[in-house]
Amino acid sequence: MTLSQADVNRIFLPATYADGVPYGLFRELRRAAPVWWVEEPPVAGWPGGTGYWAVLRHADVKHVLRSPDVFSSHLGATQVRDPDTPADLDFVRAMMLNQDPPDHSRLRRIVAGAFTPRALVELTDAVAGRVRELVAGVRPEGAADLVRLVADLPVWTLVRVMGVPEQDRQLLVDWANRVIGYQDADYAQSSTADPATLTDLGRAALAHRPTALTAPDGRPVNPRSRPALADMYAYAHGLAQAPGESRGILTRALQAGLTAEEFETMFFLFAVAGNETVRNGLPGALLTLFGHPAQYRQLRERPELTGPAVEELLRFWPPVMNIRRTAAADTELGGRPIRRGDKVVVYHASANRDETVFPEPDRLDLTRTPNDHVSFGYGPHFCVGAQLARVQLRLMVRELLDRLPGLEPDPAAGPPRRLVTNFQNGLKSLPVRWRTTG
């Protein structure tokens, strides 16, 4: 197969992912070269970009992620699309995700306090109870949208970590939708929180929500910019100043002397990034199992496989498809000369199917070991909440299989609907059904 620049550019275009991750294209690209130059044409009103180097092989992806001195998270932040203004870039650089050591290490130590072994034990017990409640609540119905069912779990968990009142947890869903799904018309203006059910603080925050999605010059407003999330940041400060009990990680963050920007972006990190891995990974895991009946049956019959099965499902359906770095110095990667300032984007979705690491990479094998997937990243930025995400995935997958007999897609309710984005591997709906007896 002869690959044109237009073929290569497809991995940037959000529309490419409307029907699924283009694993066949990734395979052809890996076979031809480990690193490719990708152009960033204008898309749906969003301006074009400078272009970037796409890193597709497992070894090169890990090399980039473990080398912050050469491939920086801080210089240009970690999204493919550049921030619109220098002020936007300065603001997002305060986020732990967009820091390099040693500043990253300082912020990570604060966040890690929410995920100590003792805290994980307590959270696991609470999550297990919530999982049982969620599944028991729908069991008599015989059908549900699995995306809606499981979406509550990571948000319910996060409000405990963050100290957010339960009445306000739907705000976290809207904020995540707007940030992660801005390329999808169904999510770009997400507003599902009912003001009547919110706390006074939640209702007050809504008054700060921007009403315009375009700047005066007609360009779309970057959904990750501070003005686009004014309601979220107003809420974060209001919550931190509210009287009463400890506010979890937020209290620790304030006591650690974070700047206003560091505090706001830490709230962002928990509210959005802490939500999306599980929210996208759980429906994706079940849809993957539905497409592999023998493996699905094996997992139903052998509960002890749940742990390794979740790792394989994460490999097969990585919730985050890519992440960006910026070259901090002239270097070479995969035989390509990389210049200081170039964007370098690693593709977890491609690395997880690298045939030099995973025998028969397109085959789902719930007993696969070792399983060196990079769905939680690698190196200094390895997901600090990975263990909690694994707990939620394992408990929910097991409860669904054990308590909903005959769980399967519900064709009468329509096909699964994918989130249209080049960043997150997500579903907007997954109608399912099951037997209510037996």
Q: What is the pLDDT of residues 15-60, one digit of tens each?
A: 999 999 999 999 999 999 999 999 999 987 788 999 999 999 999 9
pLDDT of residue 252: 75
Q: What are phi and psi of 128, to 5 degrees?
A: -60, -40
Task: Provide the whole-model pTM.
Answer: 0.94
pLDDT at 191 over 90: no
Range 392-401 burial, b when 16+ CB lie within 10 A, else e: bbbbbbbbbb
pLDDT of residue 53: 98
Tokens of 185: 């018309």
pLDDT at 176 over 90: no
Tokens of 294: 């023998």
Q: Comparing 232-241, 361-370, 404-413, which segment has the lowest mean pLDDT?
A: 232-241
pLDDT at 172 over 70: yes
Q: Could you tell me which residues are beta bridge partners of residue 333?
A: 336
Q: Comparing 69-73, 250-254, 298-302, which segment has the lowest mean pLDDT?
A: 250-254
Tokens of 256: 């650690």
Which of 163-167, 182-186, 411-415 ranks highest by mean pLDDT? Answer: 411-415
Nearest to 384 by CA among 119, 93, 69, 91: 119
DSSP secondary structure string for all residues of 32-64: H-SEEEE----BTTBPP---EEEE-SHHHHHHH
Helix (H, G, I), strand (E, B) or coil at 345: strand
For the segment 398-420, the average pLDDT, to the nearest whole number, is: 96
Residue in the block written with tokens 């690698």: 378
Cβ atoms of 344 and 71 within 8 Å: the answer is: yes
For the segment 290-316, the average pLDDT, to the nearest whole number, is: 98
pLDDT at 272 over 90: no
The number of beta carbons lying within 10 Å of the beta carbon of residue 194 is 10
The number of beta carbons lying within 10 Å of the beta carbon of residue 216 is 6
pLDDT of residue 259: 87
pLDDT of residue 1: 63
For the segment 96-109, the average pLDDT, to the nearest whole number, is: 94
Cβ atoms of 157 and 391 within 8 Å: the answer is: no
pLDDT of residue 378: 98
How does DSSP classify residue 287? H
Tokens of 76: 């240009």
pLDDT of residue 438: 62
pLDDT at 243 over 80: no
Distance CA 432, CA 438 (A): 17
pLDDT tens-place string over residues 337-373: 999 999 999 999 999 999 999 999 999 999 999 999 9
Residues near 363 by Cβ (< 8 Å), separated by ≥ 6?
A: none
Strand order in the sheet with 143-145: 143-145, 431-433, 408-409
pLDDT at 197 over 80: yes
As to burial, measured by CB atoms within 10 angstroms (0-12 exposed, 13-18 middle, 19+ buried), residue 263 is: buried
pLDDT of residue 359: 97
pLDDT at 131 over 80: yes
- 195 to 41, 201, 203, 427: CA distances (angstroms): 39, 10, 6, 26
Residue 49, sorted as left (phi over 0), alpha (psi -120 to 50) or beta, turns out to be: beta
Tokens of 272: 């959005």
pLDDT of residue 414: 96
pLDDT at 233 over 90: yes
Cα 405 → chain centroid? 29
In single-letter form, the type of residue at position 286 comes to L
How does DSSP classify residue 273? I
pLDDT of residue 113: 83
